[in-house]
A and B are shown apart, each in its own frame.
Chain A
Amino acid sequence: MNKDIKTINQEIPADFPGQVIPGGNGGNIVITSLNKVIDWGRKNSLWSLYFGTSCCAIEMMQTGAATNDYSRFGFEVARPSPRQADLIIIAGTIVNKMAPVLRRLYDQMAEPKYVIAMGACAISGGPFYYNSYSVVKGADHVIPVDVYVPGCPPRPEALLEGMIKLQEKIMNENALNRPNPMDGFDEGKAHIKPIKMINHD
Chain B
Amino acid sequence: MEIETKNIKQPNLKDRFKTEEYMINMGPQHPATHGVLRLILTIDGEIIKKVEPDLGYIHRSIEKMCERDSYQQIVHLTDRMDYLSSHINNEAVSLAVEKALQLEIPDRVKVIRTIIAELTRIASHTLWWGVFGMDIGALTTYFYGFRDREMINDIFEETCGARLTMNYNKPGGLMFDIHPNFVNRVKDFVAHFKTKLPEYDRLLTGNIIFQKRTKGIGFLTKEDAISFGTTGPVSRGSGVASDIRKIHPYSAYERVDFKQPLYHEGDNLARYKVRIDEMWESLSIIEQLIDNIPEGDYQVPTKAVIKLPKGEYYQRVETARGELGVYINSEGNKNPYRVKFRSPGFSNLSVLNHISVGSKIGDLVAIMATLDLVIPDIDR
Contact = CB atoms under 8 A, between A and B. Distances in A.
Interface of A: 49-55, 57-59, 61-62, 65-67, 80, 82, 92-93, 95, 97-98, 101, 105, 127-128, 130-135, 152-153, 155, 201
Given A52-B35, A66-B143, A95 B83 contact: no
A50 B30 CA distance: 8
Given A50-B29, A155-B163, A134 B59 contact: yes
Contacts of B164: 55, 58-59, 153
B49 to A, nearest CB: 25
Q: Per DSSP, are chain A's interface residues mostly helix, strand or loop, or mixed?
A: loop
User: Which has the most chain A C-beta neighbours within 10 Å: B56, B59, B60, B64?
Assistant: B60
A4 B74 CA distance: 74
Given A53-B58, A130-B68, 20 more contacts: A53-B57, A53-B375, A54-B80, A55-B83, A57-B35, A59-B163, A62-B146, A62-B150, A66-B146, A80-B31, A93-B58, A95-B59, A97-B59, A101-B57, A127-B80, A128-B60, A131-B68, A131-B69, A134-B61, A155-B163
Interface string B10-48: 000000000000000000111100011000000000000
Nearest to B376: A54
A132 B80 contact: no
A93 B84 CA distance: 16
A170 B191 CA distance: 46
Pairs of residues from A and B, 7 with the lowest C-beta to C-beta distance, nearest first:
A65-B146, A55-B83, A80-B31, A131-B68, A54-B376, A50-B31, A66-B143
Q: Quick one: which of A52, A53, A66 has the most chain B CB within 10 A? A: A53
A63 B77 CA distance: 24
B376 A51 contact: no
B147 A66 contact: yes
Nearest to A78: B31
A22 to B, nearest CB: 49
Given A67-B146, A98-B36, A132 B83 contact: no
Nearest to B144: A66
A132 B64 contact: yes
A134 B65 CA distance: 11
A55 B28 contact: no
B58 A132 contact: no
B58 A98 contact: yes
A130 B69 CA distance: 10
16 contacts: A51-B29, A53-B57, A54-B376, A55-B83, A55-B165, A57-B35, A65-B146, A82-B29, A93-B58, A128-B60, A130-B65, A131-B64, A132-B60, A152-B165, A153-B164, A155-B163
A65 B31 contact: no
Contact of B146 (A55, A61, A128, A153): A61
